[in-house]
Amino acid sequence: MRGMAPVDYGVSKAAIAHMARIAGREVERLGSREAAMMELGRASSPFGRLASADEIAGQIGFLLSNMAALITGTVLVSDGGYSI
């Protein structure tokens, strides 16, 4: 279909989100956290650009920090507002 992402791309993104939720539940009993990141790579976002490597590194650093102590089983989407 024109203008739509291929099915395999969408299914793989859904699988990552589902894996994050399941893994988050599995590791919480061990006192650990799990989160996934998705950079959707769309230059047509409201910001009109892709995230820089430094921006992605900052988001990963946040997820690894104590500031994200209660974040688990979720996906941080870095798409510049494209998905809203």
Q: Residue 1: pLDDT above 50?
A: no
| Number of domains into which the chain is organized | 1
Residue 23 phi/psi, 5-degree rounding, is: -65, -35
> pTM of this prediction?
0.71
**Domain annotation covers residue 83:** no
**Range 7-31 average pLDDT:** 86
* pLDDT of 5: 62
Bridge partners, residue 36, by sequence: 75
Residue position matching structure tokens 């920090």:
65
- Joined together, the tokens standing for residue 82 give 């494209």
Please, is 12 exposed, middle or buried when counting C-beta atoms within 10 Å of its C-beta (0-12, 13-18, 19+)?
exposed
**Domain annotation covers residue 1:** no
Residue numbers of the domain that contains 56: 7-78
- Output the CA–CA distances (angstroms, integers) from residue 11 to 14, 40, 60, 73, in the order listed: 5, 14, 24, 18
CATH number for 44 = 3.40.50.720
